Amino acid sequence: MGRNRELPSGMGLLPRMEARPWSNGKTITYRYHPVGKKPINLGTDKVEAIRKVKILNAEGEFTAHAKGTLLWVWERFKESTRWKKLADGTRADYELAWKQINERLGEMHISTITPVDVATYVHQERAGSPRRADIEKSLLSRLFGHGIKLGVCTMNSTIGVEPHGSEARTHAVPPQVLAKFLDWINQQTPQRRIIGMAAEYASLAGSRKVEFLDLAWSQIDEDEGVLRTRRAKQRGAKRGEVIEAIEISPALQNLIDRLKDLRTERGLDCHYVFPTRDNNAYTARGFMTLWQRCVALALEEKVISESDRFTFHDLRAYYVTAHKQRLGMLPDLHTNPDVTARVYDRSKEVRRSSL
């Protein structure tokens, strides 16, 4: 509940509103307290704050699912075709982003959320997590677009609010560090060995996790010397239709042979190349949980140092960088080669011929 109405800060406000004076004695922030829920920030404009509360209570008793609230738009967005077209990883990111957004803006009517509200949320309330804040701003932009389609708002209030921005990682995994780590993990438990071989595969083929977690033996054609996977994150009409035919090099063949030996140990009915303990495909979360445990143990046993620590996605960059160094060109990973060069090329030395 808000401050006592007898206080000057509470005078002239609607029920369940609160006025909070700043330390400077001039600025006042207004909040609304839904029954049994977290306070909603209304900004510093008193007239605008009262208008927002009237909209929230337009149909009488406030409900979280009232038509036009950001929560209501989110629920409609998740039922839309646009949502279904998003990659699994993007949907997972947005689900996580929504948990943060909902705590602060979910109960506000979308038409009352201003660019100032968005900027305050992104650059002040979420300043400590800039990368997540940018993902949350991206989701907000999509929700405003969907809200316009549903007729509950007329403008996208994220327009004009700059993201934090993030630069691509520049850390290059040294070959000797990766080799030492893979040699160590190959001496661990069977499931950790599988995680290690998945890491080795990523460094040799450059595939994303989503492209090989459910990789099946039927996708490996040793007679033709090709491994086929479906390219993830493909947009437009080619979505889900681009197949990457990865040539099996001697190093990759060696890895496949070791995986076949593991399959023989588990039984030939094992369908997946990188199976879980019960021979199913790993989920992204389950895989990353075990990967993080392996890295933590490697640090504890001083197999790798904190300065040499690398992410699983760094292995894709390792592949791109090694591909360029050995073959003199970047691999075909994106429709736009500039994306591959900007995000994944970690080369510290660039070679060119003299005249």
pTM above 0.75, yes or no: no
Task: Report if residue 355 sits inside a domain.
Answer: no
Is residue 28 within 8 A of residue 22, CB to CB? The reply is yes
Domain with 334 in it: what CATH number?
A: 1.10.443.10
Same domain, 79 and 223: no
Say whether both 68 and 102 belong to one domain.
yes
pLDDT bracket for residue 333 (50, 70, 90): confident
Residues 52 and 68 in one domain: no
Q: How confident is the model at residue 24 (pLDDT cuts 50, 70, 90)?
A: confident
CB within 8 Å of 202: residues ≥ 6 apart: 209, 212, 312, 315, 316, 319
Instruction: Kindly state whether residues 57 and 72 are assigned to the same domain.
Output: no
Lowest mean pLDDT among 21-25, 133-137, 230-234: 230-234
Q: Does 146 share its domain with 219?
A: no
- Residue 126 placed within a domain: yes
Of the candidate ranges 181-190, 216-225, 246-255, 344-353, the one whose mean pLDDT is the lowest: 344-353
Question: pLDDT tens digits, residue range 66-109?
Answer: 788 999 999 999 999 999 888 777 888 899 999 999 988 988 89
Residue 350 lies in a domain: no
Enclosing H/E stretch for 40:
strand 40-43
User: Residue 292 is part of which domain span?
Assistant: 175-344
The answer on 194 and 338 residing in a single domain is yes
Q: Are residues 39 and 107 in the same domain?
A: no
Please check whether residues 193 and 280 belong to one and the same domain: yes
Query: 111-169: per-residue pLDDT in tens?
Result: 999 999 999 999 999 988 888 999 999 999 999 999 999 999 999 999 999 988 766 66
Q: What is the pLDDT of residues 103-122, one digit of tens each?
A: 889 888 999 999 999 999 99
Beta bridge partners of 221: 226
Mean pLDDT of the chain: 85
- Predicted confidence (pLDDT) at residue 185 exceeds the cutoff of 50: yes
- How many Å is the Cα radius of gyration of the chain? 26
